[in-house]
Structure 1
Amino acid sequence: MTGRRNAARRWSGLRLIVAALVLATQVQAQETPVPLLTLDQDRFFLQSDFGKAVVERERTATAALEQENKRIEAELIAEEQALTEERKTLPAKDFSAKAEAFDQKVERIRDEQDAKARALTEGRDKDRKSFLQAAVPVLGELLGQKQAAAILDKNLVIVSLSAIDVTDEAIAAVNKALAAKPAPTP
């Protein structure tokens, strides 16, 4: 029974692909506007001026955080080595207290650095959301200009004509629309 279901699914998928190819051929042969458009959302964001500014700011902030982490790590290693040396001369009770304080310090610093990394991620997500909110009117305008019914994410489309990909036009349009707005700030 399972074999029949799998075979039916394969035929169903094959029929869908054949129907899409037939539809694509018919759309290409017609002189009427294309009813559906595709957009590569990642490229739309990353190649826009806004996206490039966000990526550059994020690279700078990430590099600064990595440098800070390396500096802190070096300081903690030196402090740990000094503590190890003190172990030889300190009474066990005193060493234990210093070791516990050092462990707490390491945990606190780890939590702080993790919070900074999360803030970077949250900032990236916020910037992307802001970009998409600003881009919706631009995409709506493009949709109207092309007299299309919808803009689909290119990565979710199995088969399409390259003629329906409006990513380059959308990048140019959003750059123009957002040119008057200030670049994203940290």
Structure 2
Amino acid sequence: MRLWRGILVWLLLAMPAAAQNAAPQILIIDSDRIYYETLYGRRIAADLNAAIQAVQAENEQIVATLTEEERSLTLRRPDMTPEEFRAEADAFDVKVEEVRRVRDAKNIELQTENAEQRTVFEDRVQGVIGNLMIERGAVIVMEQRSVVMSVREANITDDVIVRVDAELGDGTR
């Protein structure tokens, strides 16, 4: 009886060690971490941030100019006929609407450019992930958000980040 108990204890202790040595068939990544922690993803985010700040600076300048024009119109109103005021006020409204249209188009352009850059990033990173998958003998890679429970060794996010930085750098090469 002691012999069987000893064998059983040995098997139970040996199984986790053997399982740890075997490569997981399913690998897990956190694509958000890959995007925000790689040189490439950080460069894209920094470029977008710089573009957003430039647009915000332009917006602030435009708002200041329009505010001054509106103030000027308000101050000149007592010396104007109702028809003159109405004509200038209507022209001002048309100008404001055009500025708003141009600003909205610029914001949409920034969003589109960011989405396109993110798509290119994901396409390029997919090759790195595919190579790691093949090297590890895995059959599938899943997104972390879709996983309920896993062993730590299945998550290759850190390895992907290191490999993307080494192979793709900041994405400009």
Report the TM-score when normalising by structure 1: 0.79
Unaligned 5+ runs, structure 1: 1-25
Cα drift, residue 60 of structure 1: 1.0
CA distance in 2, matches of 1:78, 1:179: 47
Task: Say whether 1:39 aligns with 2:68.
Answer: no
Task: Say whether 1:108 aligns with 2:95.
Answer: no
Which stretches of structure 1, 4 residues or longer, exceed 3 Å deviation after superposition? 26-29
Amino acid at match of 1:86: R
Q: What count of residue pairs does the alignment treat as equivalent?
A: 158
Q: Which has the larger radius of gyration?
A: 2
Amino acid at match of 1:51: G
Task: Say whether 1:151 aligns with 2:141.
Answer: yes
Deviations 1:73-102 (A, max 9, x none): 111111001111121111111111110110
CA distance in 2, matches of 1:34, 1:27: 13
Cα drift, residue 180 of structure 1: 9.0
Aligned to 1:58: 48
Q: Percent of aligned positions with the same letter in both sequences?
A: 28
Amino acid at match of 2:152: S
Aligned counterpart in structure 2 of residue 81 of structure 1, from 71, 75, 81: 71
Cα distance change of structure 1 residues 158 and 86 upon mapping to structure 2, 3 Å threshold: same
CA distance in 1, matches of 2:17, 2:131: 23
**Cα RMSD between the aligned structures?**
1.8
Aligned to 2:129: 139
Unaligned 5+ runs, structure 2: 1-14
